[in-house]
Amino acid sequence: MSSESTIAGLLRRLDAGEVSAVELTRAALDRIAQANGTLNAFVSVDETGALAQAQAADAARAKGEAGALAGIPIAHKDVLMTAGLKTTCGSRMLANFVAPYDAFVVEGLKRAGAVLVGKTNMDEFAMGSSSESSHFGPVRNPWDPERVPGGSSGGSAAAVAARLVAGATGTDTGGSIRQPAALTGICGLKPTYGLCSRYGLVAFASSLDTPGPFAQTAEDCALLLDAMAGHDPRDSTSINRPKEDYRRGLAAPPTDPARPLAGLRIGLPEQYFGDGIDGDVAAAVDGALEALRRLGATTVPLSLPAVRLSIPVYYVIAPAEASSNLSRFDGVRYGHRAAVYDDLRDMYRKSRAEGFGAEVKRRILVGTYVLSHGYYDAYYLKAQQVRRLIADDFRRALGACDVIAGPTSPTPAFRLGDKSDDPVQMYLNDIFTVAANLTGLPAMSIPCGFTRGGLPVGLQLHAGHFGEARLLEVAHRYQQATDWHRRVPPGLGLRDG
């Protein structure tokens, strides 16, 4: 029995009548009840709602009206609005906020029949790379609970890695899907900016925020993306283009089954293979590239000179937008309001001081500073100019290759608390991931091996705008030839395969 816990595998079992959606949902709820005490992956679990959706999915399937994901238990990152359920963004500010509407991607997955079992923990307002800054406590890595799962979508990544749910949503502003996917040994896709509407995604940095899927396999990511992508007139940055069928794209057999990636040119930027990369990570990535070559791909060296500036550029633009986006949390209409205050200014001051954690405050301060009169040109405007240079680098590079590969993260999962006192060290974790956000390009992390200490390593692939189908195909062919994605964290009472 292979791939039983993947979405594709579960759909086969549901269609064959081997299992019901209610059974799958109960099993997911049981596993969450067992594991969440350790992992802290979920902020809230909606048992009643999930079982009702599962029953509806079973009824629909019986009538032959099941959606593409009917009965598949999933989770949403708690930064996506889910009607009737708390949407906290991992913050005290919204600890009791019940969303009055569904985000676009939540609607899409609901329409496909996926069963929402709960909301996952995350860095507060998606600001972080370790999922330690949540008001609800840190998320732990299923591969080693003393280590972080990455962030900011650490709860979703941990939930999928620990097989608590078959798939989950995340949001990626500077690597918040790909880096936790890498650190927990699963697949995470950041789609092209504009492919999945941001409607209902509580904004961190509007020009960078991108919702996307987590799953065990590329095929499952394709299934989730099919339900999440699409034009949305409620988001002016959503792109109006014909809908693709990502799952079907993977079903076509390759012309040369022995060399399914023949003709594929993989670009290897020198900047992604230099110093500062953990030796085990580098070794795993090299092994993956070797495997891809065996499948027929060729690799071409290239250079992305401006990419070295992506961290400073990102840490100007993202906080600038965040400082403005988070202004609406003022205690006036919803969210946390201080119990005692003297006047209006005092109410703002106390409500925001109490409602936001340290990292959020740090970024609001940085963002406010770089937008200030006299600093705007030197920081924000300059950062936008460099952002264009980085985009130019990628455009040139993608003219000479089809995908760009490298490690997702320079290191494997680090220990809780290791970097939480050093924001710059924490920020450097995003060194390979932020460029995709600055350029809007799609990028994906897939499991490609382990360190000697048994921690997962991720391979990151970039493609041109709207190149999701290509990314998924490369990842899928790789996964057909390898089994890193089938490895299950030890100590969870689960078996591989």
Partner 1 sequence: MGDWEVVIGLETHAQLSTASKIFSGASTAFGAAPNTQASAIDIALPGVLPVLNRGAVERAIRFGLAVGATIAPRSVFARKNYFYPDLPKGYQISQFEIPVVQGGEILIVSPTRGEIVVRLTRAHLEEDAGKSLHEDFHGMTGIDLNRAGTPLLEIVSEPDLRSAAEAVAYAKTLHGLVRWIGICDGNMQEGSFRCDANVSVRRPGAPLGTRCEIKNLNSFRFLERAIEFEVRRQIELIEDGGTVRQETRLYDPDRHQTRAMRSKEDAQDYRYFPDPDLPPLVIDRAWMDRVAAELPELPAAMKARFETQYALPAYDATMLTQSREMAGYFEDAVSSFGGEAKIVANWMLGEVSAALNRAEVDIGAAPVGPAELAGLLKRVADGTVSTKIAKDVFDAMWTGEGDADAIIDKRGLRQISDRDEIEKLVDDVLAANAAIVAEFRAGKEKAFNSLVGKAMAASKGKANPGQVNALLRQKLGR
Is residue 77 annotated as part of the catalytic site, yes or no? yes
- What DSSP string runs through 129-185? SSS---TT----BTTBTTB---SSSHHHHHHHHTTSSSEEEEEESSSTTHHHHHHHT
Q: Which two tokens stand for residue 223?
A: 């299934």
* Backbone φ, ψ for residue 157 (5° rounding): -65, -45
Q: Which two tokens stand for residue 1?
A: 């029995």
Is residue 238 annotated as part of the catalytic site, yes or no? no
- Give the separation between CA 85 and CA 104, rounded to whole angstroms: 15
What burial letters (b/e) apply to 350-387, b meaning 16+ CB within 10 Å? bbbeebbbebbbebbebbbebbeeeeeeebbebbeebb
- Give the separation between CA 438 and CA 313, rounded to whole angstroms: 8
Per CB under 8 A, the segment of 277-285, 332-340, 411-419, 443-451 that binds partner 1 is 332-340
Indicate if the alpha-carbon torsion angle 244, 247, 253, 255 is positive or negative: positive
Q: Which is nearer to partner 1, 87 or 153 (CB)?
A: 87
| Smallest separation, CB 151 to partner 1 (Å) | 19
Catalytic hit among 77, 119, 190, 419:
77
Residue pair 198/224 in contact by the 8 Å Cβ criterion: no
For residue 263, state whether it binds partner 1 (rule: CB under 8 A).
no
* Total residues interacting with partner 1, rule: CB under 8 A: 44
- Give the separation between CA 234 and CA 104, rounded to whole angstroms: 9
For residue 368, state whether it binds partner 1 (rule: CB under 8 A).
yes
* Backbone φ, ψ for residue 161 (5° rounding): -60, -40
Q: Which residues pair with 299 in a beta bridge?
A: 266
For residue 303, state whether it binds partner 1 (rule: CB under 8 A).
no
Q: Which is nearer to partner 1, 87 or 439 (CB)?
A: 87
- Give the separation between CA 457 and CA 445, rounded to whole angstroms: 9
For residue 320, state whether it binds partner 1 (rule: CB under 8 A).
yes
Calculate the CA dihedral of residues 93, 98, 100, 102 and round it to 10 degrees.
90
Q: Which is nearer to partner 1, 99 or 311 (CB)?
A: 99
Rule CB under 8 A: choose which of 42, 314, 315, 380 binds partner 1.
Answer: 380
Rule CB under 8 A: choose which of 3, 303, 324, 480 binds partner 1.
Answer: 324
For residue 372, state whether it binds partner 1 (rule: CB under 8 A).
yes
Q: Which is nearer to partner 1, 308 or 328 (CB)?
A: 328
Q: Which of 133, 135, 188 has the alpha carbon at shortest distance from 158? A: 188
Interface residues for partner 1 in 337-366 (CB under 8 A)?
A: 344, 348
Per CB under 8 A, the segment of 6-14, 55-63, 100-108, 471-479 that binds partner 1 is 100-108
Q: Which is nearer to partner 1, 233 or 257 (CB)?
A: 233
Site string for partner 1, 168-207 (x = CB under 8 A): ------------------------------xxxxxx-xxx
Catalytic hit among 5, 129, 153, 176:
176
Q: Which is nearer to partner 1, 147 or 198 (CB)?
A: 198
| Smallest separation, CB 201 to partner 1 (Å) | 6
269 CB-near residues (< 8 Å, 6+ apart): 302, 303, 304, 307, 397, 404, 406
- The reply to whether omega before 2 is within 30° of 0 (cis) is no
Site string for partner 1, 217-256 (x = CB under 8 A): ----------------xxxxx-------------------
The contact set with partner 1 (CB under 8 A) reads: 80-81, 87, 89, 94, 97, 99-101, 103, 198-203, 205-207, 233-237, 320-321, 323-324, 326-330, 332-334, 344, 348, 368, 371-373, 376, 380
Residues assigned a catalytic role:
77, 152, 176
